[in-house]
Each structure stands twice: as structure tokens, then as C-alpha cells.
């Protein structure tokens, strides 16, 4: 085993396990549980990375122990380690789409989803604010639906790391933000990724994951 994945239950780090399975790279999993009172990652993670957040990987074979944080950075690192597999398509338009979706997942789609989750924990003030957040989320979900209605995968005709990155926000949206049968192309895409053997193997290795 050369890559250690510091993995938190029900979190973005599930994508890293899936990515590693798709690429066939050897890895081991170090699991963590959330604090049951705060639902945050345990404080011990600060010994791995100063931010104390996941996902984080450690690659013992690279420069004596390379530590990489942030899901997008990890995914790009793994694409490089695998010689470009699951990376950007060779055509310019596909490559631009790939980069867009790779960064859109966390840069644009996740923030309103996370804000809705936080507001749902505030009994009185949260509900009125949530009514303003859902229309913002719907704009994103409609945009994603229109894109997936025109091609099989986010970057083009082939599955790529962009699809891995988009999995968590869309799974979260299905779970708690109104993604349903009225957006059939997106639901069909979710069913396709969930049917991939590497996805199933990653689930088995990762432990609890509420969004699959």
C-alpha cells in the first residue's frame, strides 16, 4: 500500500476512494468518525493536516511522504499519478468542459447546498432563509440537467474525473435539496455512476455513506 486515504464517514472523501478504485491505484483507508455532538471531524486530524479537515491523502512513495488536501487537488494529483487516465479529453472543448466541472462542483454547487444544511439546523431563523436558498439551488440543478441532457458524461462521451467530482454535490442535492424525477437526465446519470463496479467497491471499503 502506498497511498493512505484519511476518510470521514458520510463525506466528500468517498469520492477519493472511488477515484482510486477507478484508476486501480493501491491504497489503504484510515477511517474517522464524526463527533456526535458537533458532526465535525475529530481534532486528531490536525496532526495530518493543519486545517484538520478531510479528505487528505498521504503518498509514501512521493518525495518521502507527500500530503495532499482538498478533493479537487487530490483528484488532479491522482490523475497525474495514473498517467492522465480519467483526465481531460484531448479536444479543446472537452478539456474546457472538464476543467469547468472539476472546479464547479466545489466552487459553485456545494456552497448553497452547504448553506441550506447549516440553515436547517437553526430552528427559527433558518426556515425563512432556506426559502431564499432553494431557488438558488434550483438554478444550478436546472443548469446541470440541461448539460446532462445533451451528452452522456460531464466532459463529453467518456467518464472522467469531472464526473467523480460532481458526484457528491448531486448526491447531496438528491438527499436534501429537491433533486428528483423532474430532472431525469441527472437522475439517470446518478444511477449510472452508482452502477459502476468501482463505485460499489469504494462504498464497501469506505463504510457509512448516506448519499448513494
Both 20 and 102 in a single domain?
no
- Same domain membership, residue 174 and residue 114: yes
The reply to whether 66 falls in a domain is yes
Specify if 158 maps to a domain: yes
> How many Å apart are CA 95 and CA 74, to the nearest integer?
18
Q: Mention every residue, 6+ apart, whose C-beta is less than 8 A from residue 78.
A: 16, 19, 20, 23, 25, 161
Show Cβ contacts of residue 191 under 8 Å, excluding neighbours closer than 6 positions. Answer: none
How confident is the model at residue 46, as a pLDDT?
76
Write the pLDDT tens digit of every residue in 7-46: 988 889 999 999 999 999 999 999 887 766 665 666 777 7
Q: Cα separation of 41 and 128, whole Å?
A: 29
CA atoms within 13 A on the CB side of 73: 10
| More confident site: 110 or 39 | 110
Whether residue 174 sits in one domain with residue 100: yes
Judge if 22 and 61 occupy the same domain: yes
What's residue 111's pLDDT?
96
Local confidence band at 184 (pLDDT 50, 70, 90 cut-offs): very high
Q: Which residue has better confidence, 132 or 38? A: 132
Residue 42 C-alpha cell reads as 475529530
Q: 212 lies in a domain? A: no
148, 78: one domain? no
Average pLDDT of 161-170?
A: 98
What pLDDT, on the 0 to 100 scale, is given for residue 34? 72
The sign of the dihedral angle between the CA atoms of 122, 127, 131, 134 is positive
Q: Are 202 and 18 in contact (CB under 8 A)?
A: yes
Whether residue 70 is found in the same domain as residue 103:
no
Same domain, residue pair 58 and 106 = no
pTM comes to 0.92
Cβ neighbours, 10 Å, residue 91 = 11
What's the CA gap between 80 and 122, in Å, rounded? 42
Residues 135 and 68 in one domain: no
Q: What is the pLDDT of residues 116-131, one digit of tens each?
A: 988 887 877 677 777 8
Question: For position 131, what pLDDT does the model report?
Answer: 82
Quick one: 145 and 190 in the same domain? yes
CB of 81 closer than 8 Å to CB of 34: no
Domain that holds residue 79: 3-86+198-206
pLDDT computed for residue 2 by the predictor:
83
CATH of the domain at 61: 3.40.30.10
Domain match, 36 and 79 both: yes
Question: pLDDT tens-digit profile of 46-80?
Answer: 777 788 788 999 998 776 678 999 999 999 999 99
pLDDT for position 188: 98
Q: How many domains does the chain divide into?
A: 2
Same domain for 156 and 72, yes or no, is: no
Q: Residue 42 has what pLDDT?
A: 67
Listed in sequence order, the DSSP H helices in the chain are 14-23, 71-81, 92-104, 110-120, 126-148, 161-176, 184-194, 197-206
| Alpha carbon separation from 106 to 57, 71, 168, 177, 195 (Å, rounded) | 18, 9, 9, 16, 24
Q: Is 127 strand, coil or helix? A: helix
Query: Domain containing 107 — which CATH number?
Result: 1.20.1050.10
Lowest mean pLDDT among 78-92, 157-171, 196-210: 196-210
Among 26, 32, 28, 27, which residue's Cα sits nearest to residue 7? 32
Q: Are residues 144 and 110 in the same domain?
A: yes
Amino acid at each position: 500500500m502506498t497511498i493512505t486515504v484519511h476518510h470521514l464517514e458520510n463525506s466528500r472523501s468517498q469520492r477519493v476512494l472511488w477515484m482510486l478504485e477507478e484508476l486501480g491505484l493501491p491504497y489503504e483507508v484510515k477511517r474517522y468518525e464524526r463527533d456526535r455532538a458537533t458532526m465535525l471531524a475529530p481534532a486528531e486530524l490536525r496532526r495530518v493536516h493543519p486545517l484538520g479537515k478531510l479528505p487528505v491523502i498521504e503518498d509514501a512513495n512521493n518525495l518521502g511522504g507527500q500530503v495532499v488536501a482538498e478533493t479537487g487537488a487530490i483528484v488532479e494529483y491522482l490523475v497525474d499519478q495514473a498517467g492522465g487516465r480519467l483526465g481531460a479529453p484531448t479536444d479543446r472543448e472537452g478539456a474546457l468542459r472538464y476543467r469547468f466541472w472539476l472546479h464547479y462542483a466545489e466552487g459553485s454547487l456545494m456552497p448553497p447546498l452547504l448553506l441550506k444544511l447549516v440553515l436547517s439546523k437553526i430552528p427559527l431563523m433558518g426556515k425563512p432563509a432556506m426559502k431564499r436558498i432553494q431557488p438558488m439551488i434550483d438554478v444550478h440543478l436546472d443548469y446541470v440537467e440541461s448539460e446532462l441532457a445533451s451528452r452522456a458524461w460531464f466532459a463529453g462521451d467518456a467518464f472522467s474525473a469531472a464526473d467523480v467530482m460532481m458526484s457528491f454535490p448531486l448526491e447531496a442535492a438528491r438527499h436534501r435539496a429537491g433533486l428528483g424525477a423532474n430532472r431525469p437526465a441527472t437522475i439517470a446519470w446518478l444511477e449510472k455512476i452508482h452502477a459502476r463496479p468501482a463505485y460499489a467497491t469504494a462504498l464497501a471499503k469506505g463504510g457509512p455513506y448516506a448519499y448513494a
